[in-house]
Structure 1
Amino acid sequence: MSLAEKRLYYHDSYRTRFTGVVTSCREAGGRWLVRLDQTAFYPTSGGQPYDTGRLGPAQVLDVFVEEGEVVHATDRPLPTGEAVEGEIDWERRHDFMQQHCGQHVLSASFERLYDIDTVGFHLGDEWVTVDLDAELTWDQVAEAERLANQVVWEDRPVYARFVTEEELAVLPLRRPPKVDEDVRVVTIEGFDHNPCGGTHPRRTGEIGLIKVVKMERMRGGTRLTFVCGKRALRVVQARFEAVNELARRLSVSVEDLPAAVEKLSQEAQGAQKRMRVLQDQWLDLRAEALVRRVAPEGGEPPGRPWVCEALEDVDTADSLRGLAQRVAAREDGATVCALAAVTGERVSLVVVSRDPRVDAGAVVRAALEPHAGRGGGNPKQGQGSAPAGPGTDASAVCDTVRRVLASFA
């Protein structure tokens, strides 16, 4: 029996039941690897994943090619030499048929419109991607998508066949075959001829819809993410519901949604600018209050105080850092400013030093180590954090900082 005869999916993608004889079965890693004299199960190859289903009482978990033979990984052994009834998971098979044929149509559209080749294809459980050998604009993608869907709606015949060398020589293939014998060509009537061993529907109308959802530039080319058929319907429905919900929340029509979002964006940018101004003003006032309230520590002479404070009104590491920098920058400020605060689930510590005797980064590392924290920096500024918990709050970290600073006095 030839390769083409053994693989029943080559001749009928709609065949979901068959009978095969088990030619071998061996255990490997908790699964059993089963070979049959013929199979309708598609193995992972050419960018298309494997079929699932059952062989008699066994569930088929994976299908792959090994030494030119289709191997079925099952959840239980099957007796060698006996016939077994196979059944394909049709929902999975048909989904892959829609996606794979949709890829042929989309790739052929880019070739026809822009002479752009497809250099990669991956069919995943949720999304399909194609890699094209040129950078594209979104307008080009949209035009190719329109042409591809026109071919779908024209409901053109799709057929696959093994061709002779003579036929191969005259067919206008979109790309050359990767094998030298048993070359199988999938034809979309009047539109595309492409060597392929995958499963496809009988007509393009069965693809239903092709929808590109993402475009990425990569290494001088473009990667497109798209979906077809039932997947495309799910994506369109989900995004339609999301758009409707946004329009409802903004009290505008769907048509007015872009303008409403642009208005919100401008308002948010303005609010952020005002917030930054207010934040800067608050940090200035907070720094002044810290300098006035905190007396010099560690016996330091006047004019060179060390400030070490646990704060409850700061909740981000950025604000903590900005406050410490302001305290140290004031003429009447601290030559060493160490501030700690709880930021989320961690205690953040920032140390800024204008004292040549005090290495800020070294203080941070030494102070956080007992609290299972990490940090670092340079002699002028250091920062880090430790997980907040029993025995580790802002006050506890400051107590440790004070002990560390005492070694520099």
Structure 2
Amino acid sequence: MSTQETIRLYDNDAYATEFEAAVLSCEPKADTDNLYEVVLDQTLFFPEEGGQSPDKGVINGINVVDVQIKNGVIIHTVDIAVTENEAGSEPDKTKHGKTNIDKTKLDKISAGSHISGKIDWQHRFYNMQQHSGEHIFSGIVHSRFGFENVGFHLSDSVVTMDFSGVISPEDIADIEREVNVAITKNIPVEVTYPSKTELESLEYRSKIEIEGQVRIVTVPGYDVCACCAPHVKRTGEIGMLKVMNYQNYKGGVRISILCGFRALEAFRQKSQIISELMGIFTTNQEAIIDNVTKLKALNQSLKSELGSAKAEILDYKIASLPTDIDNAILFEADLDSNAARSCVNKLVEKYSGVSAVFTGNDEDGYSFIIGSKNVDCNNIAAALRNKLEARGGGKPVMVQGSVKAARNKIERVLDDVLE
């Protein structure tokens, strides 16, 4: 694999979507059948870096499924498997001995060839919206409270920021509003490469020590931060920022946000859920919480009543069991763990051998609790593990676990071990 550092075209133009490049190396990815790692002399593909997910797209029409960077070298992982809908492509065996490889694809990206690349612009722009919004939010937090952003993760579905101190819900809401004010101002986002002398007098945020040239992203009046990722040109392109969730985390706070089109999609989904709930409860939006609260209270009350009724039925079943036996095995379709344990305890007092309750059904399997005063229950659990691949264990007087098997097979194992 080439060790020549890759020219990062996205640094020059975050809005470019197509590029040309030379293939420096193309090698099979270890422990895979159809993935190859391609190194180019230059690329528009932003790698997974700084907590942000990598770009998506194609190289010579071949899907890029991952992009990583190591020692300045950007590695594009491409999938060259034969697909059913690719006319004319036949499984071939390459010099690497791999099957189901489309040799035509492999020839297009061989070392020394030239390629045309194209990134997924929607994915890139959505990431730019998220990351630019995060900068403004983190900059405001830093200026107001002095807290550092000590953890950042930007995936295709969520953006999380971990701050080094706790922020109240009221302050989070206020910061969210200020971020959106900054967005409406449509402020230019500046990218600069200060000299070492300039950096010494520049106050900027950075989570790590940076060697070599430092890239500074500035949102005037809100944030100055060292960052390697593509950003929007003006804050208005962020669209909006919405805090989705927050929680205390490791002595600070973790805040989840979405910006722009991803925020829009999230609220479309929430709006759809609310509309469906309004239909189910035949009520307006304001009354949904009250309806759900009442329904939850009713559900808890019914669960309590059902539990009491089941307990009475179990007591009846226990009382009706014959007394001239040593072992008692019950199978119940629906029983919580507390009720099952209580039942086993009562059976253990009544019978000298093994007492067990299996809860579930043949399709989904069973959870079990087995107890005894005189028999080592671990032997029963071991038999279920050996014959039916059950899971679980415990002490000699009581074991519990689960088993994915039909009732008749469980009973057959128990009959064998309890003979």
Q: Distance in 2 between matches of 1:369 and 1:83?
A: 58
**1:66-109 CA distance string (max 9 Å, x none):** 44344444453546666544332211211111111111112112
Q: Secondary structure at the match of 2:125?
A: helix
Unaligned runs of 5+ in 1: 298-305, 404-409
Paired letter, 2:355: A
CA 1:101/1:278 → structure 2, altered by over 3 Å: closer, same or farther? same
1:389 aligns with 2:406: yes
Give the equivalent residue in structure 1 for 2:57: 53
Q: Distance in 1 between matches of 2:331 and 2:28?
A: 60
Query: Which of residues 272, 283, 286 in structure 2 aligns to 1:241?
Result: 272
Larger radius of gyration: 1
- 1:269 positional shift: 2.6
274-283 or 201-210: bigger deviation: 274-283
Q: Distance in 2 between matches of 1:45 and 1:383?
A: 45
| Percent identity of paired positions between Structure 1 and Structure 2 | 28
**1:374-405 CA distance string (max 9 Å, x none):** 554445434455433385154x35534641xx
CA 1:176/1:257 → structure 2, altered by over 3 Å: closer, same or farther? closer
Q: Distance in 2 between matches of 1:175 and 1:384?
A: 49
1:308 aligns with 2:351: no
Give the equivalent residue in structure 2 for 1:118: 149
Paired letter, 2:28: A
CA 1:206/1:379 → structure 2, altered by over 3 Å: closer, same or farther? same
Give the equivalent residue in structure 1 for 2:343: 323
114-123 or 213-222: bigger deviation: 213-222
Q: Distance in 2 between matches of 1:23 and 1:397?
A: 62
CA 1:166/1:374 → structure 2, altered by over 3 Å: closer, same or farther? closer
Give the equivalent residue in structure 2 for 1:24: 24
CA 1:40/1:368 → structure 2, altered by over 3 Å: closer, same or farther? closer
Give the equivalent residue in structure 2 for 1:193: 224
Q: Distance in 2 between matches of 1:370 and 1:6?
A: 58
CA 1:334/1:35 → structure 2, altered by over 3 Å: closer, same or farther? closer
Query: Which of residues 166, 170, 173 in structure 2 aligns to 1:139?
Result: 170
Matches within 5 A, 1:35-54: 35-36=40-41, 38-54=42-58
Q: Distance in 2 between matches of 1:8 and 1:343?
A: 59
Q: Distance in 1 between matches of 2:189 and 2:261?
A: 19
**Native 8 Å contact 1:99 1:227 kept in 2:** yes
CA 1:352/1:91 → structure 2, altered by over 3 Å: closer, same or farther? closer
CA 1:349/1:272 → structure 2, altered by over 3 Å: closer, same or farther? closer
Q: Secondary structure at the match of 1:215?
A: strand
Q: Distance in 2 between matches of 1:308 and 1:81?
A: 75
Paired letter, 1:295: T
CA 1:361/1:93 → structure 2, altered by over 3 Å: closer, same or farther? same
Paired letter, 2:143: R
- 1:149 positional shift: 1.8
Paired letter, 1:296: D
Query: Which of residues 353, 359, 371 in structure 1 aligns to 2:372?
Result: 353
Query: Which of residues 248, 252, 255 in structure 1 aligns to 2:283?
Result: 252
Give the equivalent residue in structure 2 for 1:300: none
Q: Distance in 2 between matches of 1:83 and 1:377?
A: 63
Paired letter, 2:405: A
Q: Distance in 2 between matches of 1:313 and 1:57?
A: 54
Give the equivalent residue in structure 1 for 2:415: 399
- 1:14 positional shift: 0.9
CA 1:337/1:288 → structure 2, altered by over 3 Å: closer, same or farther? farther
Q: Distance in 2 between matches of 1:100 and 1:182?
A: 21
Q: Secondary structure at the match of 2:43?
A: coil
Q: Distance in 2 between matches of 1:89 and 1:314?
A: 50
- 1:54 positional shift: 3.4
Give the equivalent residue in structure 1 for 2:257: 226
**1:229-249 CA distance string (max 9 Å, x none):** 111111111011112212221
CA 1:6/1:381 → structure 2, altered by over 3 Å: closer, same or farther? closer
Q: How many residues are paired up?
A: 381
Give the equivalent residue in structure 1 for 2:101: none
80-89 or 193-202: bigger deviation: 80-89
1:338 aligns with 2:358: no
Q: Distance in 2 between matches of 1:296 and 1:145?
A: 72
Q: Distance in 2 between matches of 1:123 and 1:348?
A: 39
Q: Distance in 2 between matches of 1:270 and 1:63?
A: 53
> Root-mean-square deviation (CA), in Å?
3.2
**1:135-183 CA distance string (max 9 Å, x none):** 3333332222222222112222112122234443443323477434422
Q: Secondary structure at the match of 1:392?
A: helix
**Native 8 Å contact 1:349 1:364 kept in 2:** no
CA 1:324/1:81 → structure 2, altered by over 3 Å: closer, same or farther? closer
CA 1:343/1:184 → structure 2, altered by over 3 Å: closer, same or farther? same
Q: Secondary structure at the match of 1:239?
A: helix
TM-score relative to the length of structure 1: 0.80
1:68 aligns with 2:106: no
**Native 8 Å contact 2:191 2:215 kept in 1:** yes
Give the equivalent residue in structure 2 for 1:103: 134
Paired letter, 1:343: G
Q: Distance in 2 between matches of 1:17 and 1:115?
A: 41
1:8 aligns with 2:27: no
